[in-house]
Amino acid sequence: MGWFRVRQSQGSFWFCATAVGIGLIGFSSFPQTAFHDFLSTTHCYQSVRTHSKATSYVNCFSVTPSGTFSKVFQAADGSSLAARAQPGFVIPGLWEYATLYSLFLLLEDVRGRLESYLSDHPNAGTRKEWLRGLGWDQMALGQMPTAADLAASHQLKDRYIMLDRVDMHCIWVSEAILNLLPESIPDVSGGDIVRYPGMGVFCDNAMKIIMDLRPEPDAAKKETFLRSAMTSLHKVGLVGVHDAGVNPGNLALYRDLVRSSDWTLRVYAMVECYERNAFCGNEIEKYVDERGFLDISSVKLFADGALGSWGSALIKPYSDRPDTSGSLLINSSELTKIASAWATKGFQVNIHAIGDLANRNAINAIEAALQLTCREPSLAMCQARRRFRIEHCQIVHPDDQVRMRSIGVIPSIQPTHATSDMAYVVERLGRGRTTEEAYRMRSLLETGPVLGSDFPIEPCDPFQGIYAAVTRRNPHTGQGTDDFPEGWYAEEALSLDQAVRGFSEGPAYGSFMEGRAGVIQRGAFADWVVLDKPLEEMDIEDFRSVNIRETWVAGKRVYERN
């Protein structure tokens, strides 16, 4: 066992406590501290990195039965507690930015992988249950794929197959799905129906045409999926996730799931209406679970698409495609209107923005929403309370970087996006824009970034994200680019301490949980991760493949390495 229980002397309190339970805690004749300590379980390790202001490192803490820290302390050398310390070095539980509802399988050799999947699952790919994959990239495939490419394999012909592009901004579908559509499909604003070299790919707003035809998996299937996602997140030290877009139906499922005693993932769920970039705040009930397992008080809006598919909206045209500046998914006035509607309803507004035009529109929308809803003397003070965020925040004009810092708009950044995209960023943007605008991290730090990985688009190991943030090199290869072998624009790298806080303290602040999550201190949720070595003593290359010992959530062990 990784823990032991320390009973303290007030035996009679125990009886009262079990009989009357938690209600007794406020009772004036029992000092709250003593009462908590008495019911608590104490854990000691070789060292505990706390992130708290009081003490940076201790070796013990106690956890209440309801799963919060009641005491964080240093047991004296030679004391019985210190002698019984468990092996391992503790850090606060880590948080992640991800979209949980999108997994399924990763594709490399698309047809080969699909065929082999189908030989193991011969009934997959029906009208009622589409086969869904993720991970293609037309750059790697050599050209834009088509439905006919899939039909070339007789095993795949007639199957209902839908494959997300690596950035999830386009989908590629099979002929069976195309056949569900009318003969002629008109163009969609803010989207792209790829017609050459053939039909099959739908991007951004055009994806809705397909999504509307898609059979919804049933609740049981979703639950199975979510539980398996929960397990794989705990395995890499994650205790919570900012789920970047949850529709009203799935919010209801979350509300059911978090009630069950074996649900152990903290979810900060951003609402995404059935219709993207809409206001559906009158149908959504805000909900904040006291135990910290579910929070529904934020919304996700989408300003543009991704850089890889020329979908992100730029102020000036792409350097490698002067005919286009990408496309907005929603125009500036509409974005401001929707953001303001949500802000008025008391929701935190989080806007996906990649290109510099999208980021500018997002900042405009945030500024307008703050002006509309706040009574504080300055926008910065107002923002400190509302905490509006820009998700990804990848290419930001220098003028807008200044505005972000002055208002305190929170950048929510995925360090591995920089290291996955670095191979083609200069091609798309040219050197000037890349140097001044792209994938800033240190320049935006003042506002306290929320870091994450954007699973399933990037693998969900936060230590790889920390590696990418600290080295600006790809965690899979350990390499930078030919131009920057030591790290891509390494002047934007973060220190190890900043990066670790970006996966703990940053997300806590970005979700109104500062002091309660991402920190080991009295009153915080008792979430922690046990490592073999202190973080500070690890070789940075080791961050590419960290194998953690244990993960604990609310005082319960949820992962143990074997």
Ligand X SMILES: *[C@@H]1O[C@H](CO)[C@@H](O)[C@H](O)[C@H]1NC(C)=O
Minimum distance, C-beta of residue 362 to ligand X, in the bound complex (Å): 15
Q: Single out the segment in contact with ligand X by CB under 6 A; choices: 78-86, 301-309, 328-336, 520-528.
A: 328-336
Helix-helix angle 379-386:356-373, to 10 degrees: 100
**Smaller CB distance to ligand X: residue 42 or 277?**
277
**Smaller CB distance to ligand X: residue 177 or 329?**
329
**Smaller CB distance to ligand X: residue 32 or 331?**
331
By the rule CB under 6 A, 331 interacts with ligand X: yes
| DSSP at 214 | S
Residues in the chain: 562
What does 458-504 look like in DSSP terms, one character per residue? S---HHHHHHHHHH-S-TTT----SS-TT-TTGGGPPPHHHHHHHTT
By the rule CB under 6 A, 208 interacts with ligand X: no
Minimum distance, C-beta of residue 357 to ligand X, in the bound complex (Å): 14
**Smaller CB distance to ligand X: residue 247 or 332?**
332
Minimum distance, C-beta of residue 280 to ligand X, in the bound complex (Å): 16
Minimum distance, C-beta of residue 191 to ligand X, in the bound complex (Å): 13
- Tokens describing residue 200: 């099959």
**Smaller CB distance to ligand X: residue 178 or 338?**
338
Minimum distance, C-beta of residue 535 to ligand X, in the bound complex (Å): 48
**Smaller CB distance to ligand X: residue 190 or 449?**
190
- Quickly list H helices, 391-438: 398-407, 415-437
d(CA 396, CA 119): 47
Q: Does residue 456 have a cis bond before it (omega within 30 degrees)?
A: yes
What is the x/- site pattern for ligand X, positions 285-324, by CB under 6 A? ----------------------------------------
- Which amino acid, 490? A
Distances (CA, A) of 417 to 95, 453, 491, 525: 17, 8, 16, 30
| DSSP at 21 | G
By the rule CB under 6 A, 55 interacts with ligand X: no
158, 334, 436, 560: which one binds ligand X (CB under 6 A): 334
- The residue written with tokens 């960290």 in the block is 546
**Smaller CB distance to ligand X: residue 340 or 504?**
340
Dihedral of the CA atoms 390, 393, 397, 402 (nearest 10)? 50
Minimum distance, C-beta of residue 59 to ligand X, in the bound complex (Å): 58
Minimum distance, C-beta of residue 204 to ligand X, in the bound complex (Å): 14
Minimum distance, C-beta of residue 467 to ligand X, in the bound complex (Å): 41
β partners of residue 236: none
Q: Which of 70, 65, 5 is nearest to 31 (CA)?
A: 70
How far out from the chain centre does Cα 510 lie?
A: 11
d(CA 202, CA 156): 19
Q: Single out the segment in contact with ligand X by CB under 6 A; choices: 128-136, 213-221, 298-306, 327-335.
A: 327-335
- Collect all residues with Cβ–Cβ distance below 8 Å to 432 and sequence separation of at least 6: none
Within 100-129, which residues bind ligand X (CB under 6 A)? none
**Smaller CB distance to ligand X: residue 135 or 281?**
281
Minimum distance, C-beta of residue 334 to ligand X, in the bound complex (Å): 4
d(CA 136, CA 149): 13
Q: Count residues near ligand X (CB under 6 A).
A: 3
**Smaller CB distance to ligand X: residue 334 or 514?**
334
Q: Single out the segment in contact with ligand X by CB under 6 A; choices: 47-55, 120-128, 330-338, 373-381.
A: 330-338
- Tokens describing residue 511: 């979700």
What is the x/- site pattern for ligand X, positions 344-363, by CB under 6 A? --------------------
| DSSP at 88 | E
**Smaller CB distance to ligand X: residue 289 or 334?**
334
β partners of residue 449: none
33, 80, 260, 333: which one binds ligand X (CB under 6 A): 333
Residue nearest to ligand X as judged by C-beta position:
331
Which residues of this protein are in contact with ligand X, per CB under 6 A?
331, 333-334
